[in-house]
Structure 1
């Protein structure tokens, strides 16, 4: 790892992830750098989403925007990128369509398609070189103000996109794959996992100080299928990344949205923290966790559409229900921000988190 990065000035998040008692809960927000900020649109203009991701100066600037906009209120930056860069590195074309979202012109639908992806030689250092440049540049530009997150998509979530061709309501093709061709599903999941592990390691070498794994479609699996098609690969990522990094290992967070049935297993999975979506009652989650790992979350981001009084009330309930936030707790939403949110309401949310968490 490079020894030339600036010294970290705000280590609240990392101390919390290490299990230390802290003065207040650290706070960051999923999708905190994005379309709700006017300065994001100034930088992006009419550029393609992936073009912005692949341009280190632009991705770095967008990553740092919320840190500047909410000066002193956010305790971590997360690199501006996307989970679907792994399918791209595996030779698949991915487009980001305005008003639609991600789209795969040639999704995996046949055994021949599966074989093509499995036989493709992935060259992470070449295909995702821009991601490492963005991380290194951003780490330098942050000047130690807050730690920097890298991230990857969970293998089952990535396979879902690769098979469905985009977002889905029925999840017909991924369900067909895991039930009709489970052996092929496992081969594909293992290949994705291997790529994710290498990508995580190289993100840390490039400057990431923590990692989050987004298993965004985990909640679409049954408990039994989660146990077979998601959890083993999530555990592999955590275990192997930390083993490869050795003394350079960083804290890792797992976020399996909607996977309520798996919380106990996720708390035993080896990750340093488990992020919760808003469907969880914090008190129940704390009871199941039983102080094993750090919990992160879990306010419904839709709260930002509410009044100041509603935001303050729900923030207080959340922090109190997680035990006051001085130990093993990170404030976050239960999912990402929306493009229609008022930045000043988010500022209010962050200020309330500081006020209540410091009490």
Structure 2
């Protein structure tokens, strides 16, 4: 019943937005969902869920496997309802230690990606993965089968492009708090992000985005400045590259 509700809701939104904007489906990652399930909400240190991870890794793996199956089904339902791309948000993967991340977060995102529909009605459905604080693991993220990797604002886009830009597209990575600055500074920071990635080239794509979620307090007019600047600067860069 819940998946049918998702299907009906996404189908309704798709009908309303048809031809105007792309429709992107999304879900939390298995690990991020486990954090909320065990902690009961957000946390400063994720002490409870990480204690479970170390004390009862068997139980944590059971939770994560169950979550991975649910996330894959949820995203596939969104694809069936018309989502044109899907994204997995691993918001709390960066809270894990190196080595632990690969075992308890990355491996389950790989499992989700492997179960996704990658084509619908003859059209490619891109999959995007994102780990907040995951700059250390860019090469590993780029190898789990997704089409694009999101990066947060701590990552240098030029270096990320040199490292994995030939394997996947990159998405990101403006600090969301830039949108509380004035219009001139917003334009300057947006331009820096685009110039950091560099001019477009075959086999190396970039989707401009914030480095994480937008604040509910963000002034709408600041978003307008952002969008207009992205359009203006990116068009100029493509023109220069032609």
Report the TM-score when normalising by structure 1: 0.63
SS in 2 for 1:145: coil
**1: distance between equivalents of 2:129 and 2:121?**
20
SS in 2 for 1:311: helix
Judge which range, 238-247 or 146-155, deviates more.
238-247
Compared CA separation, residues 286 and 248, structure 1 to 2 (3 A): closer
- Offset from partner CA, 1:266-319 (integer Å, 9 cap, x none): 111110000111111111211221421100000001111112221111111110
Q: Does 1:353 pair with 2:240?
A: no
Residue number in structure 2 paired with 1:193 = 68
Residue number in structure 1 paired with 2:46 = 171
- Offset from partner CA, 1:37-58 (integer Å, 9 cap, x none): xxxxxxxxxxxxxxxxxxxxxx
Q: Which has the larger radius of gyration?
A: 1
SS in 2 for 1:242: coil
Aligned counterparts, 1:245-260, within 5 A: 250-260=125-135
Equivalent residues of 2:179, 2:222 under 8 A apart: yes
Compared CA separation, residues 194 and 248, structure 1 to 2 (3 A): farther
Equivalent residues of 2:118, 2:127 under 8 A apart: no
Q: Does 1:333 pair with 2:210?
A: yes
**2: distance between equivalents of 1:244 and 1:299?**
30
In structure 2, list runs of 5 or more residues that go unmatched. Answer: 237-242
**2: distance between equivalents of 1:305 and 1:241?**
37
Equivalent residues of 2:176, 2:212 under 8 A apart: yes
In structure 1, list runs of 5 or more residues that go unmatched. Answer: 1-125
Equivalent residues of 2:118, 2:125 under 8 A apart: no
Aligned counterparts, 1:308-319, within 5 A: 308-319=183-194
Residue number in structure 1 paired with 2:3 = 128
Residue number in structure 1 paired with 2:19 = 144
Q: Does 1:224 pair with 2:99?
A: yes
**1: distance between equivalents of 2:119 and 2:206?**
27
- C-alpha deviation, 1:324, in angstroms: 2.8
Residue number in structure 2 paired with 1:306 = 181
- C-alpha deviation, 1:358, in angstroms: 0.5
- Offset from partner CA, 1:135-168 (integer Å, 9 cap, x none): 1011111122122111111000000110011000
- C-alpha deviation, 1:130, in angstroms: 2.0
- C-alpha deviation, 1:248, in angstroms: 6.0
Q: 1:271 aligns with which of 119, 137, 146?
A: 146
Aligned counterparts, 1:24-173, within 5 A: 126-173=1-48
- C-alpha deviation, 1:219, in angstroms: 0.6
Report the TM-score when normalising by structure 2: 0.92
**1: distance between equivalents of 2:107 and 2:41?**
24
**1: distance between equivalents of 2:120 and 2:68?**
16
**2: distance between equivalents of 1:215 and 1:290?**
20
Residue number in structure 2 paired with 1:280 = 155
Q: 1:344 aligns with which of 210, 221, 227?
A: 221
Residue number in structure 2 paired with 1:206 = 81
Judge which range, 129-138 or 293-302, deviates more.
129-138
Return the structure number with greater relative CO, CA threshold 8 A, min gap 6. Answer: 1
**1: distance between equivalents of 2:191 and 2:22?**
26
Runs of 4+ in structure 1 deviating by more than 3 angstroms, as ranges, are 242-249
- Offset from partner CA, 1:3-50 (integer Å, 9 cap, x none): xxxxxxxxxxxxxxxxxxxxxxxxxxxxxxxxxxxxxxxxxxxxxxxx
SS in 1 for 2:117: helix
**1: distance between equivalents of 2:165 and 2:22?**
27
**2: distance between equivalents of 1:141 and 1:243?**
24
